[in-house]
Amino acid sequence: QEAALQGRFQERVDAEEKIEPRDWMPEGYRRTLVRQISQHAHSEIVGMLPEGNWITRAPTLRRKVALLAKVQDEGGHGLYLYSAAETLGVSRDELVGQLLSGKAKYSSIFNYPTPTWADIGAIGWLVDGAAIMNQVPLCRCSYGPYARAMVRICREESFHQRQGYELMLALAQGTPEQKRMAQDALNRWWWPSLMMFGPSDDQSAHSAQNMAWKIKRFSNDELRQRFVDATVPQAEFLGLTIPDPELRFNAETGHYEFGAIDWTEFNEILKGNGPCNRERIEARRKAWDDGAWVREAAVAHAAKRKQRALK
Ligand code: ACO
């Protein structure tokens, strides 16, 4: 009977029907979605930290308003995504517990520091640019709640990417020192942005199955290539240089070829040994502990209301 259910499930996926929370699904499908959606939610929440670092120091009121709105959007994305994960039968407390204990991953990219204002431009341009490339196909993911959450998230990510690029443009057209800052930020964020797409296809544990289940629509390497192809001309327009001596356009394939990614650096970050891993988890742990009274008050308030309703 399990085999029949599996067969029927795959037929529905192949027919592009959305799978909804109450539908039958293979245990592996549920597990990989909880893993991916919660990793994604954690990334949004931890991703508020490197940029939050600059809110009080944004150089103008307009920049501060835009940055505040962007960081707030990321908090919102994290919350939609936790809700989408909860439809699969896990609780928010469990998910946060997995983040704080180091059991659940979050994107490698958020373990790098933001020492200069230009990093805010580079994050918007490159990190949100890479996020959009990876996330637009997720709007067509086979799991309904995740796909629907991604539609709004992608719209907001597009605004984030544009504010970052516009910020880079202002710096690149500014004083020589501002242009140097922009180049330095590009130098530091380029390779980590390429790593965001995950290990190369032959090393990617989940890709084949997740593509068959139509959670993923394109492989890690395909999306990485698309990102490079879209971003190199943008760097040229800024008058900045991508820090890769092997980067060249192949007129025959119509794609940019690029140098080897340092997977040792990526793996070290995944093990918790990146420049900011400890600091990020510590900040999340502090936020969770400091927020305990709010959670307790919300539970007490809900209980009181329930009692009042019973009277
Ligand atoms: N950072 C941290 N971990 C990563 C990264 C990364 N950039 N890329 C891959 N991994 C992890 C995977 O989670 C997996 O670990 P696990 O088995 O312990 O869970 C392992 O490396 C192997 O990778 P894959 O088999 O390729 O994993 P998967 O098929 O899930 O693909 C990907 C990884 C592309 C990140 C996918 O999960 C995805 O599309 N996630 C949704 C998007 C997302 O999370 N974006 C977060 C950053 S963008 C932002 O928040 C603004």
121-171 pLDDT, tens digit per residue, is 999 999 999 999 999 999 999 999 999 999 999 999 999 999 999 999 999
What pLDDT digit, counting tens, does each position of 82-128 carry? 999 999 999 999 999 999 999 999 999 999 999 999 999 999 999 99
The set of residues, in sequence order, having a beta carbon less than 8 Å from that of 192 and lying 6+ positions away, is: 108, 109, 112
| pLDDT over threshold 90, residue 269 | yes
**pLDDT of 1 over the 90 cut:** no
Both tokens of 273, joined, read: 């040994």
Q: Is the pLDDT of residue 300 over 90?
A: yes
**121 touches 168 (CB < 8 A):** yes
Is the CB of residue 44 below 6 angstroms from any atom belonging to ligand 1? yes
Q: Is 32 in the pocket of ligand 1 (CB under 6 A)?
A: no
Q: Is the pLDDT of residue 14 over 90?
A: yes
Rounded CA separation 207/211 (Å): 6
Ligand 1 centre from 271 Cα, in Å?
A: 14
Tokens for 36, please give them: 């991916």
**Percent of the chain predicted with pLDDT > 70:** 100
- Would you say how long the chain is, in residues? 311
Helix axes 92-101, 61-86, angle to 10 degrees: 110
Q: Is the pTM of this model over 0.80?
A: yes
The answer to whether the beta carbons of residues 123 and 164 sit under 8 Å apart is yes
Closest approach atom of ligand 1 to CA 35: 19
* In the chain, % of residues over pLDDT 90: 99
Mean pLDDT of 229-257: 98
Pocket test for ligand 1, best of 39, 223, 224 (most atoms within 8 A of CB): 39
| Structure token pair of residue 270 | 């995944």
- For the cut 90, the answer to whether the pLDDT of residue 41 exceeds it is yes
For residue 198 and ligand 1, the question of a CB distance below 6 A is answered with yes
Residue 173 pLDDT greater than 90, yes or no: yes
Q: CA–CA separation, 127 vs 119, rounded Å? A: 10
Ligand 1 centroid, distance to 52 Cα (angstroms): 23
193 Cβ inside 6 Å of ligand 1 = no
Ligand 1 pocket, residue 18 CB under 6 Å: no
Q: Which of 133, 270, 281 to mutate to test the pocket of ligand 1 (most atoms within 8 A of CB)?
A: 270
Q: So what's the ipTM on this one?
A: 0.98
Q: Give every CB contact of residue 129 below 8 A, 6+ residues apart in sequence.
A: 161, 164, 165, 193, 227, 230, 231
> Over the chain, what is the mean pLDDT?
97
pLDDT tops 90 at residue 311: no
